[in-house]
């Protein structure tokens, strides 16, 4: 049995894509380091059960072993004894029984956990450096947070909704939402076009439902779309689907599609969410991805939080590519 498979079975408290950016990451992570791969991460994972439980759990809410636990890891960066930046990252932990059924899923979630951890710790250290480098008194800590919520976990799909929040000065923070939809058997992250029968029909349905759900924002939706010569608004919705730029999940009612601020309208317009119900669009979703029931969150998913971890303020390092 190879080393990676042994590690997957024994290191079950370390668990992961790119979701259109590491899974479907719509956050600004251009300056974050690349995620460690499952192979390289597991190579150093001896004693990983202990490593994954660093810091005492603050909440006793889920000390019983539910199949999935979402562990929140708070982090902080202090400069001259004052908090300059803070944040948190999630870790999806699976029991041996659950992960043993889906070893490829385990590997993919492992990488996703590593990506979240690296991104937040990098950003918090960078934000701490910005505060220190400014020479100004620290009034409000900068922040970088990622939160995750498992919304589906069956043989067809393992779906995670992900929220991103970043504040490093300015008029308001940047925040967005994304989704990761993984085939549990193969560990492959699925694009939206892989779970639908007709891309053109799906794009039209998304546009129609969005406009119907938010009639007061229709003019804003239209103004946010730049059309090339000869291009229609529907072409833009189709291109967004072809490039896997939608945030989506599928539950027992239908496909849900989510939009973040600045995605389809102004920051002030906030988030938008639409449902493409099965009864209205019976042929939209491939049959194998239609669930018979929704996730029993109370039975399947628990949460806990570790003690705060300190990170050091660190100067960011940028590398040039062909675009500068």
- Give the chain's domain count: 2
Say yes or no to pLDDT of 171 above 90: no
- pLDDT value for 6: 34
Q: Is 276 within a domain?
A: yes
Q: Is 316 within a domain?
A: no
50-59 pLDDT, tens digit each: 334 444 443 4
Q: CA 131 → CA 44, 139, 185, 315, distances in Å?
A: 33, 10, 45, 11
**Strand pairing partners for 68?**
94, 301
Q: Is 218 within a domain?
A: yes
Same domain, 273 and 180: no
Say yes or no to pLDDT of 29 above 60: no
> Which CATH number does the domain housing residue 87 bear?
3.30.565.40
Reported confidence tier of residue 64, pLDDT bands at 50, 70, 90: low
Cα distance between residue 76 and residue 174, in whole Å: 19
Same domain, 70 and 144: yes
Same domain, 126 and 186: yes
Residues 6+ apart with CB under 8 A from 284: 196, 197, 198, 201, 202, 205, 254, 255, 276, 278
Same domain, 62 and 186: yes
Same domain, 200 and 70: no
Same domain, 97 and 245: no
Same domain, 146 and 8: yes
- pTM for the model: 0.80
Q: CA 208 → CA 203, 204, 218, distances in Å?
A: 9, 6, 11
Residues 6+ apart with CB under 8 A from 59: 303, 304, 305
Of 118 and 17, the structure prediction assigns the larger pLDDT to: 118
- The answer to which of 15-19, 149-153, 260-264 has the lowest mean pLDDT is 15-19
Q: Copy the structure tokens of residue 187.
A: 């560990």
Same domain, 143 and 49: yes
> How much of the chain exceeds pLDDT 70, in percent?
80
Its domain, for residue 228, covers 196-285
Q: Is 290 within a domain?
A: no
- 3-state secondary structure labels for all residues of the chain: CCHHHHHHHHCCCCCCCCCCECCECCCCCCCCCCCCCHHHHHHCCCCHHHHHCCCCCCCCCCCCCCCEEEEEEEEEEEECCEEEEEEEEEEEEECHHHHHHCHHHHHHHHHHHHHHHHHHHHHHHHHHHHHHHHCCCCCCCEEEEEEEEEEEECCCCEEEEEEEEEECCCCCCEEEEEEEEECCCCCCECCHHHCECCHHHHHHHHHHHHHHHCHHHHHHHHHCCCCCCCCCHHHHHHHHHHCCCCEEEECCCEEEEEECCCCCCCHHHCCEEEEEECCCCCCCECHHHCCCCCCCHHHHEEEEECCCEECCCCCCCCCCCCCC
Q: Is 291 within a domain?
A: no
- pLDDT value for 290: 97
> Which CATH number does the domain housing residue 206 bear?
3.90.640
Say yes or no to pLDDT of 99 above 90: yes
Q: How high does pLDDT run on average in the chain?
A: 84
245-263 pLDDT, tens digit each: 999 999 999 999 999 999 9
Reported confidence tier of residue 37, pLDDT bands at 50, 70, 90: very low
Same domain, 159 and 262: no
The mean pLDDT value for 48-74 works out to 62
Q: Is 319 within a domain?
A: no
Phi-psi bin for 244: left (phi > 0), alpha (psi -120 to 50), beta?
A: left
Q: Is 29 within a domain?
A: yes
Same domain, 123 and 9: yes
Q: Is 320 within a domain?
A: no
Strands 68-79 and 309-310: parallel
Same domain, 164 and 108: yes
Same domain, 47 and 143: yes
Q: Mutual orientation of helices 233-242 and 199-213 as an angle, nearest 10°?
A: 120
- pLDDT value for 104: 97
């Amino acid at each position: 049995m190879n080393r990676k498979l042994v590690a997957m079975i024994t290191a079950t408290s370390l668990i992961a894509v790119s979701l259109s950016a590491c899974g479907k990451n719509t956050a600004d992570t251009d300056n974050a380091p690349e995620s460690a791969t499952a192979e390289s991460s597991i190579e150093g994972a001896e004693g990983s059960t202990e490593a994954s439980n660093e810091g005492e759990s603050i909440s006793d809410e889920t000390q019983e072993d539910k199949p999935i636990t979402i562990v929140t890891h708070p982090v902080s960066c202090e400069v001259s004894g004052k908090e300059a930046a803070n944040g948190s990252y999630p870790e999806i932990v699976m029991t041996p029984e659950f992960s043993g059924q889906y070893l490829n899923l385990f590997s993919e979630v492992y990488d996703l956990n590593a990506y979240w951890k690296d991104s937040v710790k990098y950003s918090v250290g960078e934000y701490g450096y910005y505060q220190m480098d400014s020479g100004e008194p620290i009034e409000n800590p900068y922040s970088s947070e990622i939160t995750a919520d498992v919304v589906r976990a069956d043989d067809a799909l393992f779906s995670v909704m992900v929220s991103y929040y970043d504040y490093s000065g300015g008029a308001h923070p940047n925040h967005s939402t994304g989704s990761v939809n993984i085939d549990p058997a193969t560990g492959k992250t699925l694009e939206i076009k892989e779970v639908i029968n007709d891309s053109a029909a799906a794009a039209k349905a998304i546009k129609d439902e969005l406009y119907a759900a938010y009639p007061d924002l229709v003019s804003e939706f239209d103004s946010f779309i730049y059309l090339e010569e000869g291009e229609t608004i529907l072409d833009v919705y189709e291109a967004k689907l072809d490039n896997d730029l939608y945030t989506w999940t599928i539950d027992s009612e239908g496909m849900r599609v989510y939009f973040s601020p600045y995605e389809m309208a102004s920051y002030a317009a906030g988030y938008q969410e639409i449902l493409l119900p099965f009864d209205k669009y019976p042929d939209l979703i491939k049959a194998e991805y239609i669930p018979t029931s929704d996730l029993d969150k109370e039975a399947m998913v628990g949460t806990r939080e570790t003690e705060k971890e300190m990170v050091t303020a660190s100067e960011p390092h940028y590398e040039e590519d062909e675009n500068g």
